[in-house]
Structure 1
Amino acid sequence: MQFRIGIRMRFFSRRLVMPNDLNFANFLFGGRALEWIDEEAAIYAMCQLDTKFLVTKHIGAISFESSAAVGDVVEFGLATKKVGRTSLTVTCLVRNKATKKTICVADDIVFVMVDPDTRMPTPHGRTLEDLEKVTQQELENLNIQNS
C-alpha cells in the first residue's frame, strides 16, 4: 500500500498477541486486528482533536501483509493524513515489534467530531499544521526521539 510521500508514522502503543486473538489457523484473526486498529486510531484522533466526541465514519483500504502468532508483540503506527472541517483522516500501520515486518495497513480511517448533545458533525477548528506543532511539542516534552 502506498503512503503519501512525507507522511510520518509514529508508533504509540503495543499489544501482545494472546491465544484468544487467533483464528482457526493459529494466527492473529483479521477481525481482532481491525478491532484494535479502530480503537487505536480512535484514541489517536481523540488526542489529536482533544475530544472524546468522535465517531468512526469510514475505513478505506485494508491490506493484510503478514501474520502474527501467539507471543508476538505488535505495535501501531499512526499518522494524520488529512484534516477536514469536522473530520480527521488517519492511517494505521500494524507491525511486528521485533521484526518490524508489516502485518496490516488500514488507510483512510475517517473520524468525525460530533456535538455531544445533538450527535451532529461539529467543526473542530484544527489544521494539519496545528496538529503537527502540538505533536512535535509533546514529543519534545517527553524527550522522545522523532524517528
Structure 2
Amino acid sequence: MARDVQITIDCADPAKLAAFWAEVLDYRVQGPPEGFDSWEQALNAMGVPPERHNDASAVVDPEGAGPRLFFQRVPESKRVKNRVHLDVRAAPGLTGEARMSALEAAADLLVPLGATRVGRYEPAPPLEAGHVLMTDPEGNEFCLD
C-alpha cells in the first residue's frame, strides 16, 4: 500500500528551521495559499494574530519526489537524543576516504547555516560506511551519510 509521508518536527522557531532545512535539502519553503502574495497576507486574512504567525512552516521538494517537512512550534525545548533522525545522503556512491572527505566538505558548508558538527564516525566492517553526526540549529541530530 503506497502512502505519502510528511515528517513533522517540533521546534521553537519554525521559520528558522524551515529555512535551514530548505538549504540542507535543496528544498524550498512552501509558499502561501493560492491568491496570496505572502504568508503574512494569508495569515492576516485568516484572522491569525501576528504573535502566532510563526507557529508553523513547511519545506517541500521542488521536484515533488521527497517528503514534505512540517515544523510546528511547541512550548517545551528538546531534552534528549532524537529517537528518529534524518540521514542526509551527502556522498552517494563514494567509499573510503573519498566518502569521508565529501561528508566533511558537506559539514563545512552546513556549519555557517547554523548546524553543529558533533562527531565523525569512521567506516567499520561490515558496513564500510562512515558518517558525520550533526545537529540543526535547535539541536536535532541528523547524519551526513
**Alignment TM-score, normalising by the size of structure 1:** 0.27
Q: Give the structure with higher Rg (CA).
A: 2
Whichever structure has more strand as a proportion of its residues is 1
**Alignment TM-score, normalising by the size of structure 2:** 0.27
